[in-house]
Structure 1
């Protein structure tokens, strides 16, 4: 379970609610991976090329990028180059426990950083074909996006887990 470093008095009610919702979806994703071996976590048993470990890695990377955006806009978001080829899979040397520990650290940093941000601060989105040209997102919108991203991929992980061994996160 994520332990917030920000105290309740540092967070607005809105920040606390959004961070609690994000933490809950992170919990679902982590629970889906519980008890898997590294081999199972890297397996791709469905028609998709997705694996449970790769989804945890991807969601962590996405969260880190969007939190950089919330702090400093597209320039800061894009200051760290992503590994698109390996972003959804476990590569040699990665372990599920290592990915989960890194994800936990990202969650801690997110909670700490959000406590110091104004939810109405907005930055222009990066130039990309999937964003409306000239649009901006607030910190609030970033957190809503992270909640959606995490919950979507927790669902993907649940399907993969059920395919692996019949276990369901929500059933």
Structure 2
């Protein structure tokens, strides 16, 4: 864990709102996987390739990547091309494995890694200039050519929330458990 514990009481205004929105999104994602075995976390329950452990792993990797982007810009991004067809096969396999629990990986370790990445994002949020603008890499899924740090944080929140919804569907398909309702 990071030595710097950030809470919404140590931040104010916009930073406190961003922190709380991200904390809430992370809470629901982690809540969805509580009480699962490693086997359950690795199990596909829908036609999708997604698994609960794979989602935790993916959200962790994506949040870590966007942390680097906020600081280093476009150069920090693993891809910079028109689409995934430009990726070397080993890079594509690494990307796909980001969504899969590998043999020997545990849900507990994935959650610990996620907590460490979240702690680093929170520390960054506490001090980074939200108005810093970075050029985005070339990709068909970006409408804009650049994002501010603020917009990048909003993207992390949106991505976490979207995948939390995916996780809820997968969990309900697994054992009937619902995060809400």
Partner residue, 1:22:
22
The answer as to 2:148 corresponding to 1:138 is yes
Partner residue, 2:166:
156
2: CA distance, partners of 1:7 / 1:23: 9
Paired residue secondary structure (2:5): coil
Which one of 84, 94, 101 corresponds to residue 90 of structure 1?
101
Q: How many residues align structurally?
A: 168
Structure 1, unaligned stretches of length 5 or more?
none
Paired residue secondary structure (1:137): strand
Paired residue secondary structure (1:43): coil
Paired residue secondary structure (2:30): helix
1: CA distance, partners of 2:7 / 2:59: 25
Give the alignment's TM-score, normalised by structure 2.
0.86
Over residues 104-132 of structure 1, what are the superposed CA-to-partner deviations in whole Å (9 max), with x where a residue is unaligned?
A: 01110101112121111001101112224
Moved more, 28-37 or 120-129: 120-129
Paired residue secondary structure (2:134): strand
Paired residue secondary structure (1:92): coil
Partner residue, 2:113:
102
1: CA distance, partners of 2:129 / 2:11: 10
